Amino acid sequence: MYDKEKIIPGLIVFVLIAVFPILYNRGNAGHIPNPEKPKAARECVRPVQDMRESHMQLLIDWRTDVIRDNGARYATAAGGTRYARSLQLGCMKCHDSKRKFCDECHNYAAVKPYCWDCHIEPKENM
């Protein structure tokens, strides 16, 4: 009933195809994002874990608050660092390379924020 001569080679081929990506990469998960830390600043505007998880929402909140509700343009972080609640004049003043910081993660996560259609990214010094 079972056709061993076809099933066994068929299985071998299937297993080879299934493990090929693993063998090919030698078990390496690929490039892990490594965003470059600012040199001139020691603290972010919020605790780092919060920033990792919800910087997108923070940016949108700043925009709404500053632009629509006439909120404060400046604020102070927990350790006393004064910063502008602004993408260009805030985030990018400390994180001065979009390529080495924002893009590191965004390329990995395959997100492309449209903010840069209007906001100007810092000049990269290669």
- Residues at the contact surface with ligand HEC, assessed by CB under 6 A: 33, 35, 37-38, 41-45, 48, 51-52, 55-56, 58-59, 62-63, 66-67, 81, 83, 86-91, 93-95, 101-102, 105-106, 109, 111, 113-115, 117-119
Least CB distance to ligand HEC at residue 31 (A)? 13
| Residues 85, 54 contacting (CB under 8 angstroms) | no
Minimum Å gap between C-beta 9 and ligand HEC is: 43
**CA–CA distance, 30 with 87 (Å, rounded to integer):** 30
Whichever of 18 and 40 has its CB closer to ligand HEC, that residue is 40
HSE toward the beta carbon, residue 39, CA cutoff 13 A: 3
CB count within 10 Å of CB 87 equals 19
Other CB atoms within 10 Å distance of the CB of residue 117: 6
Question: Which CB sits closer to ligand HEC, 25 or 107?
Answer: 107
